[in-house]
Structure 1
Amino acid sequence: MSGIFGALPPQGEDQIIRLMGQFRADPRPDKVDLGVGVYRNAQGVTPVMRAVQTAEQQLLQSQNTKAYTALAGEQAFRDAMADLVLGPAQDPARLASVATVGGTGAVFMALRLVTMARPDAQVWVSDPTWPNHIPITQHVGLGLKTYRYFDAESRAIDAAAMLADLSQVRPGDVVLLHGCCHNPTGANPQPSDWQALATLLATKGAVPLIDIAYQGFGDGLEADAAATRLIAQTCEEVLIAASCSKNFGVYRERAGVLMVMTPPQLRDTLQGTLTALNRLNYSFPPDHGARLVSMVLTDPALRADWQAELEDMRTGMLHLRETLARELRRLTGSDRFGFLAQHRGMFSRLGATPEQVEKLRADHGIYMVGDSRMNIAGLTKANVSQVAQAIAACNI
């Protein structure tokens, strides 16, 4: 075949995109989508949050230009996100940051930064992890290792195994951590586990890369940031990729930020490097979503309304978790699904085989990812009993 593109290998189909297509084509009126990883309310809608909508109306009235902003993104957005994520752990003398194209862009930029600074670094990711972590690591050309994380029997993390594996990291290796609400399992370390992990990484001279995409969806805004803040105060160098997609509901606006904690004498070099990376990748980062986020976070009334709605979303998901666990206990006479009430965030891994996942889809119209990751936000008060009955009927 002639031409430069003839040698390109075909790319595998994304399983979640394929699942979305199957769901849309399914004519059953009672089908349930627990696969796609977006928040949905009781009406099955991913809403525009009240405070975001108000901020957008204010912006429409006041904005008089669409000219470029800053290569690193607006300082107000970066400062507001540093305050939200790091709180009292932030140290301006150590902090460099850039606005990015969503949380995914922040992860990509963090790993590109690592390739510039330490191309022989190994990136350690949890087993399992968010499906995009591994391809991005491989795409930028860094080595990859996994560490044990999730115990399939207890549906909780195996902290001892995690720490044992990470005791093998080398100085300068990158350890990718989920700041809260682990995706895909929903299982999270206890505070004592986080403390042991922070101490281990600092002692080893490893660099934590914290992907925090669900702050406010687990135990609350402050509690969900506690592990990130602990590590930022414990380790000399820390990478933090934060997303605004979920907790502000601005998925399509692609608002994210990469923050780097570094020794003060390196801060200016890091800031210049991050800004240069933005310039190389897309020049100026998207501004609309970032500006809405900074408006919400810096206006007391908007922030209060946003936090109230976010808390309603969080407690609603917790209630759905508890309801599903309780209904499964009633139907199966077993407590083996009690982990659903203990997990946090949008996801839990149910523990079904691929064959059982397919049976749920084919026989009951219940859609979830093949590894049995289910999106709790796809449940509603109206369908939770139906889902529980389907899970029990499939003998999971």
Structure 2
Amino acid sequence: MTLRNQAFAGLEPQQPDGLLALIAQCRADPRPDKVDVGVGVYRGEAGGTPVMRAVKAAEAALVAGQASKSYLGAEGDERFARLVWQLVSGEERFGERRFGLQTPGGTGALRVGAELMACARPGARIWLGEPTWPNHEPIFSGAGLEVRTHPYFDATTGGIAFDAMISALSDARQGDVLLLHGCCHNPTGTQFSREQWRALSALCNERGVVPFIDLAYQGLGDGMEEDAWGTRLILDTVPDVLLAYSCDKNFAMYRDRVGALFVQAGSAAMLNLAKANALTIARRLWSMPPDHGAAVVGTILDDPDLRAAWQDELTGMRQRLQTVREKLAAAHPVLALVAQQRGLFSRLPIAPDAVAAVRRTHGIYMPDDGRINIAGLNQANLDHFVEGVLPHLIAGRDASNCNSRRSQEIPA
């Protein structure tokens, strides 16, 4: 080896992305009855991810009327940010303590917010629930925040281990950041109750913790207003707040990467400081954000007819997800908890070896942790899915019950 071909010799090998490998396996499977519940995108009853009608109409309007493809500036499309802010907060204007910044998807918003907090609070820690999405930890640790975790999911109840979460957060320090899923965004399909949101608001205020809300599925849980309730409570009651928003899911614009970061500060002076730093970070990361997706969303939200059409179609998507949940829950009591959850995802109590078994015997593709995309199920494949997973779920439940009884036995 000569000196001229060692430029990358210091790189460490990387583990392949497990979900991408799963996608490749599924595509290569020739079985016509295979079921893909791994990829996290909305799918209609026919199995495809359609372009929403309002999106098509807005794109046509842009093609006909857009006068320039010039740069937007580091802040992005201000009209888009203002209109999305209305969806989130219900308010027309930011006010003197808030600003919005267009980003490439919710992921871009998370990264800018993470770097902003790392600059503002050197040594700050961020608390992530377990489980969360695989990209969360590397986003925040890569930005320089120390990652801490707290319990989140209670596999026994299919809900949130809230008492354990609050107990773990008693170790949170002033200036720490707490990542919160705004609604049905967690891979388990669970979401906080209003009482729990109030408790989280109180905790942030008492301990000086900065909430960072990841709101990526507004409208796909219980409705646009219902899904924003917890976020609005936090904005109304906690002085310093970060909010990452994604339009990729509720506008079904996954490949266009449409997002925004919103920052709320305790004073106008602090906001100006945060804004200047956030813009500097965005300029360093991607210079100027892409225009097309944000322009489409802005066009829809600015036009009453397109907005109404989008909301109607989003309602239909949400209702389909809930219908699938109810049918799946009705198949057997071991699946009943699925109906209590919301959004695209649920997490089944199924072991990794059982996941591999149903992949082999029934062509059912899901990650090893049992997380499933509800939208991957439909009238044509739901029975096949239940047939494949149910024996393993029942066996797992029975084994768990047996172990529980043994642990409670008192020796003679």
TM-score, normalising length: structure 2: 0.92
Secondary structure of the 2:164 match is helix
Aligned equivalent of 1:359, options 357, 375, 386: 357
2:68 equivalent to 1:65: yes
1:118 alignment counterpart: 121
| In structure 2, C-alpha distance between the alignment counterparts of 1:155 and 1:182, rounded to whole Å | 15
Structure 1 gaps, min length 5: 330-334
1:239 to 238, 242, 259: 242
Within 5 Å, give how 1:221-232 maps onto structure 2.
Answer: 221-232=224-235
Aligned equivalent of 1:317:
321
Q: CA RMSD in A?
A: 1.3
Query: Is the partner of 1:35 in helix, strand or coil?
Result: coil
Residue of 79, 83, 106 corresponding to 1:103: 106
In structure 1, the partner of 2:369 is 371
- Map of 1:274 onto structure 2: 278
Q: Which residue of structure 1 aligns with residue 400 of structure 2?
A: none
The partner residue of 1:56 within 44, 54, 59 is 59
The reply on whether 1:12 has 2:15 as its aligned counterpart is yes
Q: Tell me the equivalent position of 1:285.
A: 289
Distance 1:14 1:89 in 2: 41
Aligned to 2:404: none
Which residues of 2 match residues 296-307 of structure 1 at below 5 A?
296-307=300-311
Equivalences for residues 40-189 of structure 1 within 5 A: 40-88=43-91, 91-189=94-192
- Rate the CA distance shift 1:257–1:276 in 2: closer, same or farther, 3 A: same
Q: Quick one: structure 1 residues 58 and 89, their matched pair in 2 at CA, closer, same or farther if it must change by over 3 Å?
A: closer
**What secondary structure does 2:102 align onto?**
strand
Q: Which moved further from structure 2: 224-233 or 86-95?
A: 86-95
Structure 2 SS opposite 1:153:
coil
**Counterpart position of 2:402:** none
Shift of residue 271 of structure 1?
Answer: 1.8
Unmatched segments (≥5 aa) in structure 2: 397-412
Q: Distance in 2 between matches of 1:88 and 1:305?
A: 22
Q: Secondary structure at the match of 1:338?
A: helix
Q: Does 1:389 align with 2:390?
A: no
CA distance in 2: counterparts of 1:254 and 1:94, whole angstroms: 27
* Corresponding residue number in structure 2 for 1:337: 335
Q: Distance in 2 between matches of 1:140 and 1:274?
A: 13
Is residue 41 of structure 2 the alignment partner of residue 38 of structure 1? yes
Mean Cα deviation higher: 276-285 or 346-355: 276-285
Larger radius of gyration: 2
1:85 offset after TM fit, Å?
A: 1.0
Aligned residue identity for 2:46: Q
Match of 2:30, as an amino acid?
P
* Aligned position for 2:299: 295
How far apart are 1:89 and its partner, in Å? 9.7
Structure 2 residue matching 1:308: 3-state secondary structure: helix
Partner of 1:28: 31
Deviation at 1:392, TM superposition (A): 1.6
Matched, 1:249 2:249: no
* Equivalent-residue separation in structure 2 for 1:381 and 1:124 (angstroms): 39
TM-score by length of 1: 0.96
Structure 2 residue identity aligned to 1:184:
P
8 Å CA contact retained: 1:208, 1:237: yes
Whole-angstrom distance in 1 between the partners of 2:92 and 2:382:
40
Corresponding letter in the other structure for 2:236: Q
**Amino-acid identity (%):** 46
Partner residue of 1:332?
Answer: none
Q: CA 1:74/1:172 → structure 2, altered by over 3 Å: closer, same or farther? A: same
Instruction: Establish whether residue 210 from structure 1 lines up as the match of residue 209 from structure 2.
Output: no
